[in-house]
Structure 1
Amino acid sequence: MTNLGDGEVRTAHMVASVLLGYPDDTLYDARQVLAESVAALPGGEVRRRLTAFLGHMTATARADLAAHYVATFDFKRRCCLYLTYYAYGDTRKRGAALLRFKHAFRSSGFELTDGELPDHLAVVCELSARGAVREARRLLLENRPGLELLRKALQAERSPYADVVAAVLATLPPADLRDQEAALRLAAQGPPAEEVGLEPYAVMEATR
């Protein structure tokens, strides 16, 4: 773990939140601001990983990166950006897990809009970037095994997005033995397959 202060964690998570969104014109227009934000971070794993992705983005045609994003996150279930999916799949238990995310957002003064689920990694990083670092960190730590699996799956796909997920992980304390064992169990078992409807939660909207 890089020794980052809360302000630096907020910066890193802000950049990660933007980079984990669909690579549209808005993202490319923000490249300079994102690069300056990353350059201001202390040297270490977080800055190195985010810099690597920004370099890849600069060298890649927009259409190619967009196609890669869709192929990776929309069509590969093991590369899921929704953190509770790894432990609960599409089951009723996942609904309860999503409520924990919703409560964390509300307790931090944010509501969710636009139909997005609150366990999307970019949304959790945005919560941190908006100032709720402690709450976002708790959610990330509670779902760390799934986050580790996502990183490994992206690495196996040789996806540049592995660097962004690795940067988020590098803002957390090192994984302990329990986290490592949980990740191994998830990798071996895979998510439960029970199909149920989930009430959509939405992207946060400040209420303060």
Structure 2
Amino acid sequence: MNEQQRTILAIASRVMSYPSESSAEEREHIDEAVDENIESADIRKHLRAALAPLDALSTRDIQEIYVSTFDLKSKTGMYLTAHEFGDSPKRGAAMIKLQKIINEAGFERTEGELTDYIPMLFEFMAVSPEDAHHERLQRRLANVGQRMLNHLEEENPYYPFFTLVMTKVFPNPTDEEVARLERDREEADLEELPYPIMYQ
């Protein structure tokens, strides 16, 4: 993974996280990162074009779109092992193993987020050394990311940016990898994830 790809992942870790009131300030940092670390004029151009639909929206509008896109739909959810294992008990074991990989690399996860939160894993990939774990995680994110992209509507303002991340950073999943992902996971009962219902 080259420095341009690592920079794109670092940017993706911010853009794909829940939007905050400081998003405008973060956008300035993103512009600086693009200018300083993306050597390809073509990629710089495509990055800015991919971010334009999000830049055109208010923070509140982006927050609403983010929740409806990534929090309320399982097929575009932001948790790696949920895509890989669904409701299977294997998910818990996979998260423990993932946390161990992160710890052994000398990093700590963001407080308040689960170990498999994809934006956090993007940041981890951007700064962690190249090794077997890094390569394996890259393949896993490629498979899950493609699954998410397949279920993300083209009209969604996140679609251009997420498409760029998947095409510029990650290898294309093989048919076998896509089939294995669907085979290994156990589907949840509902596609739409409802608000918690305490009593029925």
Confirm or deny a common fold (TM above 0.5).
yes
Partners of 2:117 and 2:21 lie apart in 1 by 21
What residue in structure 2 maps to residue 192 of structure 1? 187
* Offset, 1:19: 0.4
The 3-state SS of whatever aligns with 2:155 is coil
Answer whether contact 1:49 1:163 (CA < 8 A) is retained: no
What residue in structure 2 maps to residue 117 of structure 1? 114
Normalising by structure 1, what TM-score? 0.75
Q: Which moved more, 1:128-137 or 1:161-170?
A: 128-137
- Going from structure 1 to structure 2, the CA distance change for 1:33 and 1:117 (only over 3 Å counts) comes to same
- Report whether the alignment pairs 1:56 with 2:57: no
Give the residue type in structure 2 aligned to 1:162.
Y
- Going from structure 1 to structure 2, the CA distance change for 1:192 and 1:111 (only over 3 Å counts) comes to same
* Offset, 1:9: 2.2
Q: Which moved more, 1:112-121 or 1:46-55?
A: 46-55
Partners of 2:128 and 2:118 lie apart in 1 by 16
What residue in structure 2 maps to residue 70 of structure 1? 67
What residue in structure 2 maps to residue 94 of structure 1? 91
The 3-state SS of whatever aligns with 2:80 is coil
What residue in structure 2 maps to residue 26 of structure 1? 22
The 3-state SS of whatever aligns with 1:25 is coil
- Going from structure 1 to structure 2, the CA distance change for 1:102 and 1:48 (only over 3 Å counts) comes to farther
Q: Gaps spanning 5+ residues in structure 1: where?
A: 195-208
- Going from structure 1 to structure 2, the CA distance change for 1:142 and 1:19 (only over 3 Å counts) comes to same
- Report whether the alignment pairs 1:146 with 2:174: no
How many residues matched? 186
Out of 53, 78, 83, the position equivalent to 1:81 is 78
Q: Which moved more, 1:79-88 or 1:28-37?
A: 28-37
Partners of 1:18 and 1:136 lie apart in 2 by 20
Q: What CA deviation, in whole Å up to 9, does each residue of 1:19-76 have, x standing for no partner?
A: 0111112222121221232344244886565323421222112211111111111212
What residue in structure 1 maps to residue 176 of structure 2? 178
Partners of 1:130 and 1:15 lie apart in 2 by 12
Answer whether contact 1:87 1:192 (CA < 8 A) is retained: no
What residue in structure 1 maps to residue 7 of structure 2? 11
- Going from structure 1 to structure 2, the CA distance change for 1:152 and 1:45 (only over 3 Å counts) comes to farther
Answer whether contact 2:149 2:159 (CA < 8 A) is retained: yes
Q: Gaps spanning 5+ residues in structure 2: where?
A: 190-200
* Offset, 1:152: 1.3
Q: Which moved more, 1:129-138 or 1:109-118?
A: 129-138
Q: Percent same amino acid at aligned positions?
A: 27
Answer whether contact 1:73 1:79 (CA < 8 A) is retained: yes
Answer whether contact 2:18 2:63 (CA < 8 A) is retained: yes
